[in-house]
Structure formats: structure tokens, C-alpha cells
């Protein structure tokens, strides 16, 4: 029986959609061995970032290594707002106020330490036999994992504009697809389907036999 990997795109505080997508993954998996890979941007903009983080941290504690949680640029902004005073304004202007509200606080310094500690150790890339998983992407021009951590969290061009073969299919998020459809290219797949902007939350379904997704699961916001 083929093992399945479900990669989940940007959640951005949409806790209700996440609960329903996880239920759909459970139904689709039907007892088969599976791994979950979350592509980052769990917080900001949406109504319940605190709820999303609670769900993910519970999964992490109970998952026995069956789930991978990547850092997105919004998690990086949360950490910068806490660690570096100059980062507060940038974060608040990019949806941070909704995250603070979801915790019932106004000051980043009052964010729960357990949440901050969990975010601070998130990886910025994951690899399996067929794919690289990353929040934003890589610099085209060299095969393999891009050593530039900032690119993994933030890059758009030229990653999105050049069809470059990195040696494995790249699964990413970061750039919302306002039509609600995954952006499927020869060498990469974008699973950010703009849930927080009123579209859908998407999981790509992957197998060990091929790099690209064999299916997509989606739930409306």
C-alpha cells in the first residue's frame, strides 16, 4: 500500500478550515500510512491564529514524527516582533494585530512563551525521496536545496517566473492564488490557495512514485 504525504498550504489563522481539512485528510487516507507537511504561515490576517497554533502544536505532540511543520515568513515576523523592537511595525501591518487579538493581548511581549519557543525551532525546508518542501521557494540556477534561508521564507521572483529544475519537485506556498486553484508547474506546485482571502485551504496529495501531486483536497473558508 502506497504511503501518502499531504502538504498543506498557508493557513493564516483559518482554524475552522484547518479542522475540516484535517478531517478530509483522515477520510481520504482511510487508514493508510501518511505524513503531514505544513508549509508555514499559520498566523496573521485570519480570525484565529491562536486556535491554529493550538491545533498544530497538539498534532506535533501526538504525531510521533508523522508531521513536519515548516516556518513561514509570518512566523519569522512574529519572532522578529518579539526579539527585535524594529520588527513590531512590519508585523502589525501584515496581519499581526489579528494574531494578538486571537490571544487576547495587545503587546507581542505577552505572546505565550511556549508558542514562541515552538516557532523558533521550526525548520525552513523538508526533503523526501521525490520532493523539496519549503514555504516560499529557492533561487533558480543551482540544483538542490537553496542554502539562503531568507529565500526559503520570502522569495517570489525569479522563483515564480523561471521554470527551473531543482532536481526534485518543489512544493511551496507563500504566494496566494486568488482563483483558489493550486499553481501546478513542471518543477513546482504552489499550494497557497488564498484561504484567508475568502477562497480555499488546500492539501496536495503526494506519493512515493512521482514528484507532482496525484490529487488535491480543498475546503472552503
Indicate the domain borders of the chain: 4-51+67-73+124-220
Fold for domain 4-51+67-73+124-220? Purple Acid Phosphatase; chain A, domain 2 (3.60.21)
Would you place residue 94 in the very low, low, confident or very high pLDDT band (cuts 50, 70, 90)? very high
- Triad 143, 191, 22: Cα angle to 5°: 125
Would you place residue 93 in the very low, low, confident or very high pLDDT band (cuts 50, 70, 90)? very high
- For the ranges 34-38, 60-64, 75-79, which has the lowest average pLDDT? 60-64
Tell me, what's the pLDDT at 173? Answer: 98
Would you place residue 28 in the very low, low, confident or very high pLDDT band (cuts 50, 70, 90)? very high
Tell me, what's the pLDDT at 116? Answer: 97
- Triad 136, 116, 25: Cα angle to 5°: 55
Residue 117, CA distances (Å) to 11, 52, 88, 176, 204 in order: 20, 16, 18, 27, 28
For residues 153-178, give the mean pLDDT: 98
Please choose, from the candidates 169, 141, 140, 134, the residue with its C-alpha nearest in 3D space to the C-alpha of residue 157: 140
CA distance 96 to 117: 18
Average pLDDT score over the chain? 96
CA distance 21 to 27: 10
- For the ranges 24-38, 77-91, 170-184, which has the lowest average pLDDT? 77-91
The 10s digit of each residue's pLDDT in 65-81 is 799 999 999 999 999 99
Chain centroid offset of residue 202 CA? 10
State percent of the chain over pLDDT 90: 91
Amino acid at each position: 500500500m502506497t504511503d501518502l504525504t499531504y502538504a498543506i498550504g498557508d493557513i493564516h489563522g483559518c482554524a475552522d478550515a484547518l479542522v475540516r481539512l484535517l478531517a478530509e485528510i483522515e477520510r481520504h487516507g482511510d487508514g493508510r500510512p501518511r505524513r503531514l507537511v505544513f508549509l508555514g504561515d499559520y498566523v496573521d490576517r485570519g480570525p484565529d491564529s491562536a486556535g491554529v497554533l493550538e491545533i498544530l502544536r497538539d498534532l506535533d505532540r501526538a504525531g510521533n514524527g508523522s508531521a513536519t511543520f515548516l516556518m513561514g515568513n509570518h512566523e519569522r515576523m512574529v519572532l522578529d516582533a518579539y526579539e527585535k523592537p524594529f520588527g513590531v511595525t512590519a508585523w502589525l501591518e501584515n496581519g499581526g494585530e489579528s494574531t494578538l487579538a486571537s490571544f487576547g493581548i495587545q503587546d507581542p511581549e505577552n505572546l505565550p512563551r511556549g508558542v514562541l519557543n515552538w516557532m523558533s525551532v521550526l525548520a525552513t525546508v523538508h526533503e523526501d525521496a521525490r520532493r523539496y518542501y519549503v514555504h516560499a521557494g529557492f533561487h533558480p540556477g543551482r540544483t538542490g536545496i537553496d542554502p539562503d534561508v531568507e529565500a526559503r521564507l520570502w522569495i517570489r521572483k525569479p522563483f515564480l517566473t523561471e521554470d527551473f529544475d531543482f532536481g526534485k519537485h518543489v512544493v511551496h506556498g507563500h504566494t496566494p492564488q486568488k482563483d483558489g486553484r493550486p499553481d501546478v508547474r513542471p518543477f513546482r506546485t504552489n499550494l497557497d490557495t488564498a484561504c484567508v482571502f475568502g477562497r480555499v485551504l488546500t492539501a496536495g496529495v503526494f506519493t512515493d512514485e512521482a514528484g507532482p501531486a496525484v490529487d488535491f483536497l480543498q475546503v472552503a473558508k
